[in-house]
Amino acid sequence: MFSAVTDFLQNPMARAKWGSYAGRMLVIVLAFGFAYFPLVWIASASLDETGTLNTQKLIPSQLGLENYKALLDSDIHPFATWMWNSIKVASIASILSVMVSAFGAYAFSRFRFTGRRNLMLTVFLVQVFPNSLTIVATYLLVQSIGKHISWMGLNTHGGLILVYLGGALGINTWLMKGFFDSIPRDLDESAKIDGASDWLIFWRIIFPLVRPVLAVVGILTFIGVYGDVIISLTLLKDKDVQTLAIGLRRFISDDFDQEWGVFSAGALIGAIPIVVVILSFQRFLVSGLTEGAVKG
């Protein structure tokens, strides 16, 4: 064995190969540690029955499930209602955003009309400004809509979904348009020769081919809506209609009663729907984000 080690040390190619392998393994270990340490830390905090940040350790001294029990059994904080509200709002907003963005992307990709380029640039430029700049105008607009349509006003999920649709329409339309452009126009021309209408071409031919980008837009919209705080906190005030992101904020917003352990338990449980959605549609992610870059 000693001779084998000596031969290895005297072989420069073997040393270089081992060094390259060790370097790659070190990078992988550091990347995994960087990615998973926050998850391990929040899991540790959820099992720490002391519930304070000052005494938080990677391996808590008092392990238990009291934080989860307090979260699920609380009469003051309806965690299950918050989680259902988030799933409902995010799911509806994702489906509607995918459909509306698909219609807009198909029109920009396949039709030629006056002002098309200027309208595309306008849609893109609107997305440059962050939502925080328009939060006051958004609040007043939803308030005005609620005077005429009650279920789309303030403190309603309908008004919240309406705002999310307006915010995600521009960037999603641009993302989808690149994917639509990568589909050969020969398919459209062949279908028109056979007598197919524009709607039939979109629904029967184009729509099935763009499923990867539809899944990507749906996932990105779901994640963005599910974790949003600013817009939902502005429009939703009643505890029973609030979403998970602002509901969990109640556990740490009180200066004299901050329940970090319960908050951590809720954050872990609340992440389950996002994990399920990503795992369910992960096969579409890579193709949906890359194939649209063939044409622009």
Cα(12)–Cα(23) distance, integer angstroms: 16
Cα(292)–Cα(175) distance, integer angstroms: 7
Mean pLDDT over all residues of the chain?
A: 84
Contact 14, 8 (CB under 8 A): yes
What's the mean pLDDT in 95-119? 88
Name the β-bridge partners of 11.
none
Q: pLDDT tens for residues 110-143?
A: 888 888 888 888 877 777 777 777 888 899 999 9
Contact 264, 184 (CB under 8 A): no
Q: Which of 179, 148, 195, 170 is nearest to 284 (CA)?
A: 179
Contact 225, 89 (CB under 8 A): yes
Q: Both tokens of residue 191?
A: 């279908």
Cα(129)–Cα(131) distance, integer angstroms: 7
Across 26-35, 148-157, 214-223, 248-257, least confident range:
248-257
Cα(285)–Cα(214) distance, integer angstroms: 10
Q: pLDDT tens for residues 213-246?
A: 898 889 989 999 999 998 999 999 898 999 999 9
Q: Both tokens of residue 85?
A: 């509200």
Instruction: Check whether 7 has a pLDDT greater than 70.
Output: no
For tokens 């998973």, name the residue.
Answer: 36
Contact 108, 124 (CB under 8 A): no
pLDDT value at residue 294: 44
Pick the residue with more confidence: 252 or 20?
252
Q: What residues does each domain of the chain span? A: 2-64, 71-293
pLDDT value at residue 236: 93
Contact 157, 85 (CB under 8 A): yes
Contact 99, 293 (CB under 8 A): no
pLDDT value at residue 295: 44
What's the mean pLDDT in 179-201? 87
Pick the residue with more confidence: 142 or 296?
142
**Number of Cβ atoms within 10 Å of the Cβ of 120:** 16
Q: Estimate to the nearest angstrom the gap between the alpha carbon of 31 and the chain centroid.
A: 22
Q: pLDDT tens for residues 152-161?
A: 999 999 999 9
Residues 6+ apart with CB under 8 A from 145: 152, 153, 159, 162
Residues 6+ apart with CB under 8 A from 97: 164, 165, 168, 169, 172, 217, 218, 221
Cα(213)–Cα(221) distance, integer angstroms: 12
Name the β-bridge partners of 48.
63
Contact 79, 266 (CB under 8 A): yes
What's the mean pLDDT in 47-52? 78
CATH class of 71-293: mainly alpha
pLDDT value at residue 74: 80
**Residues listed for the chain:** 296
